[in-house]
C-alpha cells in the first residue's frame, strides 16, 4: 500500500457520500439483494474513510506509529469485508435464485463463507506489516499485505468460475460489476506497480459499487405502491360491476320470468284468436332474445372477472347432439334450408365435461348459421379421434350463408362486434355470441377456427377433448338414465302440498300456473315471515320453493330460522333469478336441498318435482 496522490481517494469519498445519499434517501424494496448492497455501501464508506486516515497517518509515521498501524490493518480488513459481501452477492445472483440443489444448503454456504473470510481476517490481523519510505512515498508491505492481495486475486478467480458455470442463472446486467472489478482491478494493479503514488484501489472499489447501483433490483417502491393501489381499485370496481350485474340480472330476470311464464301459458290456451296467438308468439320470441342478451352479458362479465368456472360432469353426448338438432330445427322456422346433421357412431355415449357449456358453444354456431343463411344448407357434423380414454370431438357447422369478408375474420371473436349487419336490423344479435364461444372453448382446452368465403358461406370448427366414461361409472349412468326415462311423464302429485314463497305476486302466479300440471295443492305466501308462521303453526308441506331475494328477510335467512325449529325436515328448494355462476353450489352449502333458477324451466321443475315428490 502506498502513500501518494490522494486525489482519487478524495474523489471516491465524495462519490461514496453521493451513493449513500441517493440510495438511503430513496424508498426501496427490502430484499436480500438490496440488503447486501446496503452493507456494501456502508463498507465502502468506512473503507474510504480508513483510506484517508491511512494517508494522513502514514505521512506522519513518526508521530502516530500506533494509529498508523491500526488504520493500515483496518484498511486491509475493509478489503476482506468488501470481498466477503461481494462473494455473498455472487452466490445470491448465481446460486440462491435458481439452483434447487444448492438452495437447500444456503445457510451452510453462507456460514462457511463467513467463517473462511473471518479466518482470513484474523490471519491478516496477526501477520506483520512494515513500512518503507522511497522518494517521499511511504509503502506498507509485509505478510499481511501480501495475504490480502493474494486473497483478492483468489476470490476474483472464484467469482469467474462460479459465474461461468452458473451463467444460465445470472442475468447479464448483474455480471457487469464483477467483470468491471476483474478488468479494472487488473488494470489498476498494473498502473499501481509503475506509479505507486496513485492511490487507485479504493477508487476502484467505489467505482464498482457505483456501477452496481444500476444493476441491483431496486424497483421504485412508490411506483409499486401506486400500482398496487390501482390494482386494488380496479378489483374493487370489477367486484362492484359483478355485484351490479348480479342484481341487474335479478331485476331483469324477475319480470322476464313473468312474461315468459304467462305467454307460454297463454299460447297453450284453446280458443285464442289467431292474431292474439301471433302476438303472444312474438312476445315469447322477444323475451327469449332479451333473456339471451342478459345471459350473454352475464357470461362475458363472469369470464372477464375470472368468475366463470367450467364444471365437468358425466353427460350423454348423443342426447346433447339430439337436443341441439331439435333446437336448431325449431329456430329454422319458416326458412327453407336443408339442415343436415350427423355424428360419428364411434363417439361414446357418455363423456366427461361441461355439458351445458359444450351445448352453449355449439348452439351459438348453429344459431348464427341459421341467422346468417337465407338459402341453401346448414350442415352440423361431429367427427372424432379416440386416443386411450380421450375423445377429440371435431365439431363443424357449415352453411351456405352470407359469409364473412376476409378483413373481418380477425374481428369476429371480439365483443360487441357485428360485421356488415349495421344497416340490417332484421338480423337480431348482440355481437357477444362468438366472443363468449371462443373464450369458453379455450377455457375447456379446445380451439375454434373459421373458414369463410364472402357471399358463399362459412365453416366454424371446434376441436375439443373430452374424457370417455368407462367401467362401473358407465354402468351406473346407464341405470340412472333408465330410471329417468320413466320419470319423463309429468308426475301426478295429487295429494301433495307445495308452498311457494316469493315477494313478487307475478312470480307467485307463474309458479302456481306451472305447478297446476302436477295436480298438487299449491299454497302461496309473499314473505319469509309468513312461511315461518305457517311452519310454526304445524302446517306440513311436501316441498317448499323459497325465493332468496326478498326484502327484510331473505330466503337464506328464512331457511336458517326454519332449520332452528326442532321438528323441521321438509325439502326446501332455492328459487332465484340470480344467475351468477357457482350459485347452485352456494345454495346447497347454505342448506337448501336444490336450486331452481328463474325463469323456471319446465324440465328443471320436472326434475325437482320428481326428486322430492315421487
6 or 394: whose CB is closer to ligand ADP?
394
Which of residues 202 and 367 has its CB atom nearest to ligand ADP in the complex?
367
CB 435 to ligand ADP: min, Å: 6
Which residue's CB is nearer to ligand ADP, number 121 or number 412? 412
> In Å, what is the CA distance from 299 to each residue of 306, 448, 586?
10, 18, 18
Given the DSSP bridges, would you call strands 457-468 and 313-316 parallel, antiparallel or unpaired?
unpaired
Q: How far apart are CA 92 and CA 133, in angstroms?
A: 42
User: Of 408 and 593, which has the nearer Cβ to ligand ADP?
Assistant: 408
Binding site for ligand ADP (CB under 6 A): 364, 368-369, 371-372, 399, 401-404, 412, 417-421, 429-435, 458
Is residue 468 within 8 A of residue 389, CB to CB? The reply is: yes
Question: Which residue's C-alpha cell is 363443424?
Answer: 396
In whole angstroms, the minimum distance from the beta carbon of 374 to ligand ADP comes to: 11
Nearer to ligand ADP, 336 or 482 (CB): 336
* Strands 350-353 and 497-501, bridge-based pairing: unpaired
Question: What residues have CB less than 8 Å from 386, skipping those under 6 apart?
Answer: 346, 348, 392, 468
CB of 420 to ligand ADP, least distance (A): 6
Cα 611 to its chain centre, rounded Å, is: 37
Supply the minimum distance, in Å, between the C-beta of residue 377 and ligand ADP.
Answer: 12
Q: Which of residues 216 and 434 has its CB atom nearest to ligand ADP in the complex?
A: 434
The CB-of-329 to ligand ADP minimum distance in angstroms stands at: 17
Chain position carrying cell 377429440? 392
Nearer Cβ to ligand ADP (246/368): 368
Measured between its terminal Cα atoms, the distance across the chain in Å is 100
- List all residues 6 or more positions away from 41 whose beta carbon is below 8 Å from its beta carbon: 16, 19, 20, 23, 24, 209
Q: What is the dihedral of CA 228, 229, 234, 237, to 10 degrees?
A: 150
Least distance (Å) from ligand ADP to the CB of residue 440?
12
Minimal distance, residue 300 CB to ligand ADP, in Å: 10
Q: Bridge partners of 310?
A: none
Residue 444 CB, shortest distance to ligand ADP, in Å, is 18
C-alpha span between 296 and 435 (Å, rounded): 10
Cα distance between residue 13 and residue 202, in whole Å:
9
In the complex, what is the shortest distance from the CB of residue 401 to ligand ADP, in angstroms, rounded to a whole number? 5
Q: Which is nearer to ligand ADP, 431 or 571 (CB)?
A: 431
CA dihedral 496, 499, 500, 501 (to 10 degrees): -170
Nearer Cβ to ligand ADP (31/414): 414
Q: Please, are residues 384 and 347 in contact by the beta-carbon 8 Å criterion?
A: yes
Query: Rounded to the nearest whole angstrom, what is the least distance from the CB of residue 415 to ligand ADP in the complex?
Result: 8
337 contact partners, CB below 8 Å, separation of at least 6: 370, 373, 375, 376, 377, 378
Distance in Å, CB of 93 to ligand ADP, minimum: 50
CB-based burial of residue 560 (10 Å sphere; 0-12 exposed, 13-18 middle, 19+ buried)? Answer: middle
Using the minimum distance from each CB to ligand ADP, give the nearer residue, 376 or 571: 376
Phi, psi of 200, deg, nearest 5: -105, -20
Q: Are 87 and 113 in contact (CB under 8 A)?
A: yes
* Of 399 and 502, CB closest to ligand ADP: 399
- Cα 259 to Cα 244: distance, rounded to the nearest angstrom: 23
Output 78 or 372, the one with its CB closest to ligand ADP. Answer: 372
Return the C-alpha cell found at 573.
328448494
Q: Following CA atoms 494, 499, 505, 509 in sequence, which dihedral angle do they give, to the nearest 10 degrees?
A: -10
Phi, psi of 559 (to 5 degrees): -60, -40
Secondary structure of residue 92 in the 3-state scheme: helix
Residue whose grid cell is 336448431:
328
Give the nearest distance from C-beta 238 to ligand ADP in angstroms.
23
Residue 323 or 417: the one with the smaller Cβ distance to ligand ADP is 417
- Give least dist CB 361 to ligand ADP, A: 11
Amino acid at each position: 500500500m502506498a502513500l501518494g496522490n490522494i486525489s482519487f481517494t478524495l474523489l471516491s469519498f465524495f462519490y461514496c457520500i453521493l451513493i449513500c445519499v441517493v440510495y438511503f434517501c430513496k424508498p426501496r424494496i427490502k430484499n436480500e439483494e438490496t440488503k447486501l448492497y446496503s452493507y456494501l455501501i456502508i463498507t465502502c464508506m468506512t473503507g474510504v474513510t480508513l483510506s484517508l486516515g491511512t494517508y494522513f497517518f502514514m505521512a506522519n509515521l513518526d508521530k502516530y506509529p500506533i494509529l498508523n498501524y491500526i488504520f493500515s490493518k483496518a484498511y486491509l480488513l475493509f478489503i476482506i469485508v468488501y470481498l466477503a459481501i461481494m462473494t455473498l452477492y455472487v452466490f445470491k445472483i448465481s446460486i440462491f435464485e435458481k439452483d434447487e440443489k444448492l438452495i437447500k444448503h444456503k445457510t451452510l454456504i453462507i456460514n462457511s463463507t463467513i467463517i473462511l473470510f473471518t479466518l482470513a481476517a484474523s490471519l491478516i490481523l496477526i501477520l506483520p506489516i512494515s513500512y518503507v519510505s522511497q522518494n517521499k512515498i511511504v509503502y506498507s508491505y509485509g505478510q499481511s499485505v501480501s495475504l490480502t492481495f493474494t486473497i483478492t486475486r483468489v476470490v476474483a478467480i472464484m467469482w469467474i468460475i462460479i459465474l461461468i458455470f452458473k451463467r444460465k442463472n445470472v442475468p447479464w446486467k448483474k455480471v457487469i460489476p464483477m467483470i468491471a472489478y476483474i478488468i479494472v482491478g487488473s488494470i489498476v494493479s498494473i498502473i499501481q506497480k509503475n506509479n505507486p503514488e496513485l492511490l487507485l484501489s479504493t477508487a476502484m472499489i467505489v467505482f464498482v459499487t457505483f456501477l452496481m447501483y444500476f444493476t441491483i433490483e431496486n424497483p421504485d417502491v412508490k411506483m409499486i405502491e401506486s400500482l398496487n393501489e390501482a390494482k386494488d381499485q380496479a378489483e374493487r370496481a370489477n367486484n362492484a360491476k359483478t355485484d351490479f350485474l348480479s342484481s341487474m340480472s335479478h331485476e331483469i330476470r324477475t319480470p322476464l320470468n313473468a312474461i315468459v311464464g304467462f305467454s307460454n301459458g297463454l299460447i297453450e290456451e284453446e280458443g285464442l284468436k289467431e292474431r292474439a296467438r301471433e302476438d303472444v308468439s312474438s312476445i315469447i320470441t322477444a323475451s327469449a332474445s332479451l333473456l339471451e342478451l342478459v345471459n350473454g352479458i352475464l357470461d362475458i362479465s363472469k369470464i372477464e372477472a375470472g368468475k366463470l368456472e367450467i364444471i365437468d360432469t358425466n353427460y350423454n353426448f348423443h342426447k346433447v347432439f339430439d337436443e341441439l338438432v331439435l333446437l336448431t330445427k325449431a329456430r329454422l322456422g319458416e326458412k327453407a334450408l336443408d339442415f343436415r346433421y350427423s355424428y360419428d357412431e364411434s363417439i361414446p355415449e357418455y363423456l366427461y365435461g361441461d355439458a351445458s357449456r359444450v351445448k352453449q358453444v355449439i348452439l351459438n354456431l348453429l344459431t348464427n348459421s341459421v341467422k346468417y343463411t337465407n338459402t341453401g344448407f346448414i350442415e352440423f357434423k361431429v367427427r372424432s379421434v379416440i386416443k386411450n380414454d380421450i375423445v377429440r370431438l371435431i365439431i363443424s357447422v357449415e352453411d351456405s350463408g352470407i359469409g364473412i369478408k376476409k378483413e373481418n375474420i380477425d374481428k369476429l371473436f371480439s365483443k360487441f362486434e357485428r360485421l356488415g349487419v349495421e344497416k340490417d336490423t332484421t338480423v337480431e344479435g348482440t355481437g357477444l355470441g362468438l366472443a363468449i364461444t371462443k373464450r369458453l372453448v379455450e377455457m375447456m382446452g379446445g380451439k375454434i377456427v373459421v373458414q369463410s368465403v364472402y357471399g358463399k358461406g362459412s365453416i366454424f370448427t371446434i376441436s375439443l377433448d373430452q374424457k370417455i366414461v368407462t367401467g362401473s361409472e358407465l354402468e351406473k349412468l346407464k341405470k340412472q338414465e333408465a330410471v329417468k326415462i320413466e320419470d319423463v311423464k309429468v308426475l301426478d302429485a295429487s295429494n301433495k302440498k307445495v308452498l311457494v314463497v316469493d315477494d313478487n305476486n307475478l312470480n307467485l302466479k307463474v309458479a302456481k300456473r306451472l305447478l297446476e300440471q302436477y295436480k298438487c295443492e299449491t299454497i302461496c305466501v309473499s314473505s319469509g315471515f309468513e312461511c315461518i308462521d305457517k311452519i310454526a303453526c304445524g302446517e306440513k308441506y311436501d316441498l317448499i320453493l323459497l325465493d332468496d331475494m326478498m326484502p327484510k328477510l331473505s330466503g337464506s335467512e328464512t331457511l336458517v330460522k326454519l332449520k332452528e325449529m326442532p321438528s323441521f325436515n321438509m325439502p326446501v328448494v332455492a328459487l332465484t333469478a340470480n344467475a351468477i355462476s357457482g350459485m347452485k353450489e352456494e345454495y346447497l352449502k347454505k342448506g337448501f336441498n336444490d336450486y331452481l333458477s328463474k325463469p323456471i324451466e319446465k324440465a328443471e321443475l320436472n326434475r325437482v318435482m320428481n326428486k322430492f315428490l315421487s
